[in-house]
Structure 1
């Protein structure tokens, strides 16, 4: 049924300090099962991180006409921001682990990004990685090690950009009329599941499903599957 609907190409963005490798590990399999081509832009580290991602969404929408926009954490924020501003070019939304709506304020993810940026400024990328690995599951430490080193000297600035950028408000999300799947993790204190449920409730055609960080640690696609299944529920419901 979904192949007959001809879903557009998916353009999915990574979260703060993350990269396209992680996005593809989460969403590659679930979208391939639907026959949906996946484009995962690499981050351009530094102060222009957000604007470069938004510009890439514009470029790809110009090329393909419409895209299925989405991402993980900060990437989901940017995709939703773009969807609000481009109602005729967004064919759907895949939002995994949104961290706040409106101003970031004291949201746990924003505070964590700021603390990490301060640590990078004081101890460098390698020092920050050592501290992060000490308090993280092994799989997450491995992901951070690859991605943070790739961000390199731009990591601190990118973290501060993400921490201070407003996400769409719930009122703005109510104007996004495309099918939208929102995925959350019930045991993630940095990306509270209540925020993801709030997004799904505000989006007119939003649906929500959740998994756990424990499951993602074993199988990265667990997060992609629940987000894609939520999207299919919105599309077909």
Structure 2
């Protein structure tokens, strides 16, 4: 197991148009229960995510991670700087390599177009349950940057299979079995490519009752190979 002395903080990035509030709700409790500290940057764009990881590195390897887009950035940063990374937490990976026609990319592009043409309220009006509540909470925090953030995410790249194969640190992957936007099959692709990884699953219903279900799944997977 990676000790808190080898990895004093787990730096976890938010997903597309999400924020550090959601990251804390999913990861703070599980990490604290295992004796780890969470850093949840307030970064918004892909460039800001990379910059946040660069800023946290102080010469000691980090455990980095994220949700969806944040997971893509964290894994790409770890592949880019292997000596800076002690491990990776991946929650809800959305695609491999170029976004193409991945469901999450199409959803982000469609949301951007709807917000741009009809406004934020119309874009979230048909989204029910805890996911809708989360969008109505987080999206206004982006202000005028929301449309650009959604469009950037829709066209961004996840790690290619070659990058994942070269990532030798322990990687914990969490996926929801009932999430059509972040298909379980994508998480399984990541798992097959990564040399040292484990996958744990939960459900969107479980996250509705307790956001920490996502963090526990990712951390349990990580600790099983660390």
When normalised by structure 2's length, the TM-score is 0.96
Partner in structure 2 of residue 57 of structure 1:
53
SS in 1 for 2:83: coil
Alignment of 1:22-61 (within 5 A): 22-44=22-44, 49-61=45-57
Larger CA deviation: 7-16 vs 101-110: 7-16
Q: Does 1:223 align with 2:218?
A: no
Residues 123-150 of structure 1, C-alpha deviations (whole Å, 9 max, x = no match):
12222222xxx2322x112211111000
CA contact 2:96–2:158 (8 Å) conserved in 1: yes
Residues 1:129 and 1:64: Cα distance change in structure 2 (over 3 Å): farther
Match of 1:70 in 2: 65
Mapped to 2, the partners of 1:174 and 1:38 lie a distance apart of: 27
**How far apart are the structure 2 equivalents of 1:173 and 1:2?**
20
* Structure 1: gaps spanning 5 or more residues: none
Which residue in the other structure is 2:142 paired with?
151
Between the aligned partners of 2:34 and 2:59, the Cα distance in structure 1 is 18
CA contact (8 A) 2:94 2:181 kept: yes
For the 8 Å contact 1:2–1:34, the answer to whether it is kept is: no
In the alignment, what sits opposite 2:128?
136
Q: Which residue of 2 aligns with 1:116?
A: 111
1:65: Cα distance to partner?
2.0
| Structure-2 separation of matches of 1:76 and 1:83 | 10
Which one of 179, 197, 200 corresponds to residue 206 of structure 1?
197
Residue in 2 that maps onto 1:97: 92
Q: Is the 8 A contact 1:186 1:211 kept in 2?
A: yes
Q: Report how far residue 113 of structure 1 moved.
A: 0.2
Deviation at 1:2, TM superposition (A): 5.3
Q: How big is each residue's C-alpha offset from its partner over 1:89-133, in whole Å with a ceiling of 9 and x where there is no partner?
A: 011000000000011100000000000000011012222222xxx
Distance 1:97-1:111 versus aligned 2 partners, 3 A rule = same
Alpha-carbon RMSD: 1.4
Equivalenced residues, count: 226
* Secondary structure class of the residue paired with 2:142: helix
Indicate the SS of the match to 2:11: strand
2:122 corresponds to which residue? 127
Say whether the 8 Å CA contact 1:84–1:176 is kept in structure 2: yes
- Structural mapping, 1:9-24, within 5 Å: 9-24=9-24
Partner Cα distance (1:195, 1:123) in 2: 32
Does the 8 Å CA contact 2:89/2:222 hold for their aligned counterparts? Answer: yes
